[in-house]
Structure 1
Amino acid sequence: MVELLRNAHFIVTVDRTTKIVRVTRSAEPFDSIEQIQQECLAVTDALAMVDRSAMSLFLDIRAAPGRNDPRFEEATLRLRTAAVRGFGRVAVLVGTSAGALQVRRHSREDGIDRMISDSEDELLAYLTAVPRRR
């Protein structure tokens, strides 16, 4: 596993064997909207180092402080979409039902499908499954 980014808010790693890029959100709260934008751009820059079409994305947001105020939502919409677009599959590991509801809403808003679960094993199985031929 290769680490692409580590800061107070995110760790981004890539496992070229399983073809999974993992973004883990820490419990550290953001101090400002500007910091949110700065940190999310750092994640997007790290993700630019991988061939998204050949990889799956695993987002672990269990530790993230709950937040859905309008300024936060507005600040993260474009960056959130840019971070997940282009991956073969996207899975989101949540810790609460409220977190799952928020991620489902994000999926509807940005049109990018995500598998959402509180089971890491279930999500990893989804990301590594060979697609069936029709």
Structure 2
Amino acid sequence: MPEVLRNVHFIVAVDPMARLVRVTRTAAPFDSLEQIEQKCLEIIAALAPVDRSAMSLLLDIRAAPGRNDPKFEEATLRLRTAAVRGFGCVAVLVATSAGALQVRRHSREDGVDRIISDNEDELLAYIANAPPRYR
């Protein structure tokens, strides 16, 4: 899958044939809230040419360092909403039950439905078979 962005925190790849965008979070921790904003804005810019309504998004956050302090949550709410809104289907690959709970909470807060699993094959199958309105 061709990459459109790679930095120390994220890898973003787009496969137009599969109508899939994959954003993978690395294990590198953020140094500051400003750095979180900068890196998320890079993702948003990299995805600007993508017709989100025709694409599905797979977020792989398995390697992400766990973090849910209030300042982090506040800083990321607007950014994560801007990064995921508009896709036909959003699937999130998590490593832990705690990660799944956090993603469910994010979904309630920002109003963007997400399919959540720790099984990549399951998520990819769901995306591939999602009804057209979700893709």
Q: Normalising by structure 2, report the TM-score.
A: 0.95
For structure 1, which runs of at least 5 residues remain unmatched after alignment? none
1:84 pairs with 2:84: yes
Q: Secondary structure at the match of 1:12?
A: strand
Q: State how 1:57-96 maps to structure 2 within 5 Å.
A: 57-96=57-96
For structure 2, which runs of at least 5 residues remain unmatched after alignment? none
Structure 1 runs (4+) deviating above 3 angstroms are: none
| RMSD, aligned CA | 1.2
Distance 1:130 1:66 in 2: 30
Distance 1:132 1:6, change over 3 A: closer
Q: Deviations over 1:62-108 (max 9, x none)?
A: 00000000010010000000000000000000000000000000000
Q: Which one-letter code corresponds to 1:46 in the other structure?
A: A
Q: Quote the sequence identity (%).
A: 77
Q: Which one-letter code corresponds to 1:113 in the other structure?
A: D
- Per the TM alignment, residue 49 of structure 1 is displaced from its structure 2 partner at its CA by 2.0
- Per the TM alignment, residue 130 of structure 1 is displaced from its structure 2 partner at its CA by 4.5
| Equivalent residues, number | 133
Which residue matches 1:122? 122
Distance 1:97 1:3, change over 3 A: same
